[in-house]
Structures are given as structure tokens and as C-alpha cells.
Amino acid sequence: MSVTLSSKSGEVGEDSVNLMASDSRPKYGWRSHISVWWIGAAAVCLGFLLLILILVVVAHNSKALGHQDSKCANVIYSLTADRDTLRDERDQLKLKSINLTEEMELLQTRYNAVAVSRDTLQEEVNRLNLSRRDEPCHEGWKSFGGKCYYYSPSGNTKNWESSRKDCKERGADLVVITTKEELGFVIQTYDTIWIGLSDRDQESKWKWVDGTIDLLSNEFWEVGEPNNHDSNEDCAEVVRSKRKFNDVRCDKRLSWACEK
């Protein structure tokens, strides 16, 4: 009796176990499936969000890079234009420099030709003066190089205009110096003396009383002269100690030399 109960009891126990097992499986299985589904959905959403974020970043960077490339292109274009402009200006300056150099060389050639012509003419004048039959100078006049010279009396001084007037009254004019030899002859008498050179008609354009332009200034003027020191030095004197010309005021009183 007890065995039977035991046996039944065992059967009941086995069924109970099977029933409990059968009941417990569905209870926990559907929850597990739901959790997996949510995790998958969340992963998919995160993937989409990450993809969208990546696309936004890429688009932004592409736009920034495009803007930067456009800005760089503008800078390069501007620099290129500036370079071309500077290159054109350089070429124009080179051309102007070449033209100026050619003009300078042409002017130098003309100057040299004029200087040669001047020297030739001067030599011819000197030759004619020497070959000219010497005529006796009037009393009180000195002869040199075929010309006659008069010197003002010692102690007698006049301004430039009055000195020239005296020469004209004697049928002459203030001395015109054309050679170093003539300069050496003229300065033998006085320490300083008026000569027939001035720029009274036009400032800085020195002209002799016979109308010729002073072409020997580099040879005969003192260094730094004429300088128009007091803005009114329009007449020329000769200083014996320096054997050079100097510009002074025309109202200065000096000895003078006439020539005819």
C-alpha cells in the first residue's frame, strides 16, 4: 500500500515537474525576444544617426573646402594679375631706360661734335689773328695776339656798366677772353678786373658782350662759381691769384680792360 502510494507519489511528482517546466518556458521566452528586438532597433537607429552625422560632417567639410578653394583661387588670380602688371611696368621702364640711354648717347655725340667745331673755329680765329698784318695800337693800348687792349688807369674804378661805357667811347668793348693765353695776358695788370661777361639778360645764361655764349665755363670759372651768392651777382670779374672767373654784383667798383 505504501509502495503504491510511493509509486503514485513519484508519478505525481514527475508530472508536476513536467508541468512546471512546461509552464516556465513560455513565461521567460517572449521577454527575451522583446529585449533582443529593442536592442537591434536601438542599434539600427544609432547606426542611422551615426550615418546622418557622418554625412552632415562630410557635407560641411566639403562646403568649407569648396569655399577655401574658391578663396585661394581668388588670391592666386589677384597675385597673378599683380605680377603681370609689375612685369609690364618693368618692361616699360626697361624700354624707357634704353630710349633715354640712346638719347643721352646721341646728345653726347652732338656735344662732342659741337666742341670739336668750336675748337676748330677758335684755332682758325687765332690763326687769322696771328696772320693778320699787325697794326700799331693807339698810344696807351697794348698789343697781344693781333688785338689791342686798354687798361683803366691805376686807382680808377667803375661799376660794370660804366666800365663798358668807357670802352665803347674808345671804340672798343670790355675784353672777351677765349684762350688761356689771353687770360694770362689780361690778368697781368690788376688783381681783379672787369671782363665782358654777364647773365644780366637771362639768369644763369652767361653771355659775352659780343653776343657769344660762354662755352668755356668749366675751364675758366672758379670751383663752385658762378653761384649767384646774394641772388644779384650778374657780372664776371677775373681774379689774378686764382686765374679764374667769379660772379659778383654789377655795382661793384673794379678796374677794367677794353679790347678791340
Which residue shows C-alpha cell 690763326?
Answer: 127
pLDDT at residue 245 tops 90:
yes
Domain 138-259 bears CATH identifier 3.10.100.10: yes
Task: Give the range among 15-24, 116-125, 158-167, 169-178 with minimum mean pLDDT.
Answer: 15-24
Task: Give the range among 7-16, 57-66, 70-79, 204-213 with minimum mean pLDDT.
Answer: 7-16
Pairing verdict, β 141-144 and 147-151: antiparallel
Task: Give the range among 36-50, 56-70, 110-124, 204-218 with minimum mean pLDDT.
Answer: 56-70
Give residue-wise pLDDT tens across range 60-78: 777 777 777 788 888 888 8
- The residue among 156 and 13 whose pLDDT is bigger is 156
Give residue-wise pLDDT tens across range 132-151: 545 689 999 999 988 999 99
8-state DSSP, 212: -
Contact 259, 148 (CB under 8 A): yes
Question: How far apart (Å, rounded) are the C-alpha atoms in residues 117 and 110?
Answer: 10
Give residue-wise pLDDT tens across range 13-50: 444 444 444 444 445 555 666 777 888 888 888 888 88
Please tell me the pTM assigned to this model: 0.50
Question: How far apart (Å, rounded) are the C-alpha atoms in residues 239 and 19?
Answer: 152
